[in-house]
Chains A and B, each alone.
Chain A
């Protein structure tokens, strides 16, 4: 039996076992959530369909879309929306590739077994492509209403763009991450007498390639998705498949295959060594015996003054552990600000409408950043709340206050960029400030919603993952209708903080720290 068959058999068995352990209640909840999400996207798509099918006047990525008559074809705006959604999903998927390759428990559990690397490669690739396909399927309902609004071709082209774009993006992310990692994985043991500067630096410097790789992969992916959009735009313009489509698909196919071939080469050549280097970069903060990490507990942490004295030590432990465990993730905020800055200053309002400007940080906070799940992970939240004489709600209060601080750290610079971009463009500085407040408010509202959740359910991983995402989608829907309604919604959820900060009765603790690696 080949290792691939063995591994696929184990994966299949694992999935079946996992499905078998779910209760009917959890299935009902899951299906209800799925139904709500799909229904919401269908409704949103239905509301947006007339606009998406109207011939657009001003699209920054519409080069090559002009018809001889000078008008853009109906459906080009739908394709434009598909392009941005694909780019957004691609940014998530490119970072997910890092998780799939190195961090997830299903790969860590296999690391010390003599599994053939070709089998592990196929396993990881299938996982990455599976996630890309799932993301594409999740976005599809937004474009389905175009069909009953008379835009069948636009719907098909948009869905095809998202599916093909995300699959190619995952393959590119794979190749970039593995190519970057292989540059750190020397094939021979090093002579310790070699000068320190000449060795791979696993803590910073060259090790940062792990962090840069998803960013570079995103840039390449966006270019490829843009090319696919141009090819599909020709189809919309002509009303039938064209030669340009064939050429575009050919380029995509070649790009996909080249990415797979390169990633396979890097994987089988150096995966164990690059994985080892990755874990050193990723978990460098774990050794409490390292002298440079000790004696940092007495320093007051920004934001702890908001809390009662009894909760401050817990807040400090969250601050220290989160900063050390997610050092790499925090550096990636910078990449987000850079990308956001380029988008905010370079894109026109047609390409980056206000509703998207104000909800973008909330979407990222709910998906990419999500500090709430991380705060509940066992690496960050130990069992001390059961062991020490802490006040009844100190742990939850400290966690929500730290979540608030982390969200400000992530969304604050974005809000500032948005205010400057909008202010310099329109000259309406009060309006720009209001826009920034809405962008920031969305993230704080999610933190407030999590506070509500924790105060009623306790810490629950599924809820911490799903609720922020649902709220972010709801905010996108509301922002499309009215920014004032969005502001009201944000205020409402921000009040959720009071539920925890002012609680006098014990808040449910919820599940103990989530299983490691989940």
Chain B
């Protein structure tokens, strides 16, 4: 694993009219890190991910992915990013397999390597039987699975997953979680936005809490374990509630 951060955000600002969605966020993610990105609705998680991928234009600050500046290389950085947005936009009239092969070709994965990855990913997401069906005909959960497969093809160095486990059955969630952990073990980095805090507590090597667009807490695995072991917080839920000021 190299030492270069997979993602480096400095002083990111994103506004929508008067609303400041992301307010001076600074965050760095290294190789092998599985970062849980949590915060209340409207905290700025999706806006941050949108800015990283270039789907939203930042109003301030800088973003680097694998050493590439996002403002200067908006297309090039996408080579290094696999993104599953909250609201899926897929190529409706390709079959699941055709869509994956299309993404593989775009990412420069071809021939036997492509065949192998497509098979593995379809098997991982249990879409082998639905591989020849049009994406348009997929259920919500199947569409999300094929989007996850598309994000994993390559694989890119950084994965951005915005509420990507919503609508997935428990079996698939478990299989994909394991795959993602393997991906991180091999040097990939993940920024996963989710409200399933129990899952994040188990799988993440780091947890970042965003409130009103600002970084409220940034806890490593060790810090998280220490806080829970100290007895002050029973779990990540309690830490989250305290950070957001919503103790119930």
Q: Are A115 and B72 in contact (CB under 8 A)?
A: no
Q: Given the complex of chains A and B, what is the CA–CA distance between A191 and B70 in angstroms?
A: 15
Q: Are A105 and B92 in contact (CB under 8 A)?
A: yes
Those of B65-104 within 8 Å (CB) of chain A: 70-72, 74-76, 78-79, 81, 83, 85, 87, 89-95, 98, 102-103
Answer whether residue B19 sits at the interface, using C-beta atoms and an 8 A cutoff.
Answer: yes
User: Contacting A276 at CB < 8 Å: which of B19, B55, B98?
Assistant: B55
Expressed in whole angstroms, the minimum distance between the Cβ of B92 and any Cβ of chain A is: 7
Given known contacts A10-B94, A17-B134, A21-B134, A111 and B89 CB-to-CB distance under 8 angstroms: yes
B49: nearest chain-A partner, CB-CB? A112
Q: Given the complex of chains A and B, what is the CA–CA distance between A110 and B19 in angstroms?
A: 28
Q: Are B60 and A189 in contact (CB under 8 A)?
A: yes
Residues of chain B lying within 8 A (CB to CB) of residue A10: 91, 94, 98, 102
Interface string of A256-281 (1 = CB under 8 A from B): 00000000000000001101110110
Answer whether residue B110 sits at the interface, using C-beta atoms and an 8 A cutoff.
Answer: yes
Q: Are B19 and A291 in contact (CB under 8 A)?
A: yes
B99: nearest chain-A partner, CB-CB? A10
Q: Are B105 and A13 in contact (CB under 8 A)?
A: no
Answer whether residue A302 sits at the interface, using C-beta atoms and an 8 A cutoff.
Answer: no
Those of A35-57 within 8 Å (CB) of chain B: none
Residues of chain B lying within 8 A (CB to CB) of residue A109: 89-92
Answer whether residue B24 sits at the interface, using C-beta atoms and an 8 A cutoff.
Answer: yes
Given known contacts A116-B75, A189-B62, A192-B13, A515 and B92 CB-to-CB distance under 8 angstroms: yes
Q: Given the complex of chains A and B, what is the CA–CA distance between A21 and B71 in angstroms?
A: 41
The number of A-B residue pairs with CB atoms under 8 Å apart is 127
Q: Are A287 and B16 in contact (CB under 8 A)?
A: yes
Residues of chain A lying within 8 A (CB to CB) of residue B53: 112
Interface string of B32-56 (1 = CB under 8 A from A): 0000000001100000001001111
User: Contacting B89 at CB < 8 Å: which of A18, A105, A191, A276?
Assistant: A105
Q: Are A114 and B60 in contact (CB under 8 A)?
A: no
A188: nearest chain-B partner, CB-CB? B71
Interface string of A1-30 (1 = CB under 8 A from B): 101001001100111011001000000000
Q: Given the complex of chains A and B, what is the CA–CA distance between A502 and B11 in angstroms?
A: 59
User: What number of A residues sit within 8 Å (CB to CB) of B?
Assistant: 52
Expressed in whole angstroms, the minimum distance between the Cβ of A215 and any Cβ of chain B is: 24
Q: Are B89 and A13 in contact (CB under 8 A)?
A: no
Q: Are B42 and A289 in contact (CB under 8 A)?
A: yes
Residues of chain B lying within 8 A (CB to CB) of residue A202: 57
A113: nearest chain-B partner, CB-CB? B106
Expressed in whole angstroms, the minimum distance between the Cβ of A471 and any Cβ of chain B is: 29
User: Contacting A14 at CB < 8 Å: which of B56, B75, B93?
Assistant: B93
User: Contacting B74 at CB < 8 Å: which of A105, A113, A273, A292?
Assistant: A273
Given known contacts A114-B78, A287-B19, A292-B17, A1 and B60 CB-to-CB distance under 8 angstroms: no
User: Contacting A517 at CB < 8 Å: which of B57, B81, B89?
Assistant: B89
Q: Are A203 and B98 in contact (CB under 8 A)?
A: no
Q: Given the complex of chains A and B, what is the CA–CA distance between A106 and B50 in angstroms?
A: 19
Counting contact residues on chain B (CB < 8 A from A), the size range is 35 or more
Residues of chain A lying within 8 A (CB to CB) of residue B83: 112
Q: Are B54 and A276 in contact (CB under 8 A)?
A: yes
Residues of chain B lying within 8 A (CB to CB) of residue A18: 93
Answer whether residue A199 sits at the interface, using C-beta atoms and an 8 A cutoff.
Answer: yes
Expressed in whole angstroms, the minimum distance between the Cβ of A496 and any Cβ of chain B is: 32
Answer whether residue B59 sits at the interface, using C-beta atoms and an 8 A cutoff.
Answer: yes
Expressed in whole angstroms, the minimum distance between the Cβ of B10 and any Cβ of chain A is: 9
Expressed in whole angstroms, the minimum distance between the Cβ of A7 and any Cβ of chain B is: 8
Residues of chain A lying within 8 A (CB to CB) of residue B71: 186-189, 273
Q: Given the complex of chains A and B, what is the CA–CA distance between A292 and B71 in angstroms?
A: 30
Q: Are A280 and B16 in contact (CB under 8 A)?
A: yes
Answer whether residue B58 sits at the interface, using C-beta atoms and an 8 A cutoff.
Answer: yes
Q: Are B75 and A284 in contact (CB under 8 A)?
A: no
Those of B104-151 within 8 Å (CB) of chain A: 105-107, 110, 134, 136
Given known contacts A18-B93, A187-B71, A290-B16, A112 and B134 CB-to-CB distance under 8 angstroms: no
Q: Are A192 and B24 in contact (CB under 8 A)?
A: yes
Q: Are B58 and A284 in contact (CB under 8 A)?
A: no
Given known contacts A1-B110, A17-B95, A199 and B59 CB-to-CB distance under 8 angstroms: yes
Q: Are B57 and A113 in contact (CB under 8 A)?
A: no
Given known contacts A6-B106, A272-B75, A287-B16, A190 and B59 CB-to-CB distance under 8 angstroms: yes
Those of A435-461 within 8 Å (CB) of chain B: none
Q: Given the complex of chains A and B, what is the CA–CA distance between A216 and B13 in angstroms?
A: 33
Answer whether residue A71 sits at the interface, using C-beta atoms and an 8 A cutoff.
Answer: no
Answer whether residue A346 sits at the interface, using C-beta atoms and an 8 A cutoff.
Answer: no
Answer whether residue A368 sits at the interface, using C-beta atoms and an 8 A cutoff.
Answer: no
Q: Are A292 and B94 in contact (CB under 8 A)?
A: no
Q: Are A191 and B76 in contact (CB under 8 A)?
A: no
Q: Are A112 and B55 in contact (CB under 8 A)?
A: yes
B76: nearest chain-A partner, CB-CB? A114
Q: Given the complex of chains A and B, what is the CA–CA distance between A193 and B13 in angstroms?
A: 10
Answer whether residue B63 sits at the interface, using C-beta atoms and an 8 A cutoff.
Answer: yes
Q: Given the complex of chains A and B, what is the CA–CA distance between A202 and B15 in angstroms?
A: 10
B51: nearest chain-A partner, CB-CB? A276
The 16 listed contacts between A and B (C-beta, < 8 Å) are A3-B106, A10-B91, A13-B98, A18-B93, A105-B92, A109-B90, A111-B55, A113-B103, A189-B63, A190-B58, A192-B13, A272-B54, A273-B74, A276-B54, A284-B17, A289-B19
Interface residues of A (CB under 8 A from B): 1, 3, 6, 9-10, 13-15, 17-18, 21, 105-106, 108-117, 185-194, 199, 202-203, 272-273, 275-277, 279-280, 284, 287, 289-292, 515-517
- Top 7 nearest A-B pairs by Cβ distance? A192-B60, A289-B42, A272-B74, A114-B78, A14-B93, A276-B57, A114-B79
Give me 13 other A-B pairs in contact (C-beta within 8 A), A112-B81, A113-B78 excluded.
Answer: A10-B102, A14-B91, A14-B92, A112-B55, A112-B78, A114-B78, A202-B57, A273-B71, A273-B74, A287-B16, A287-B19, A289-B19, A291-B18
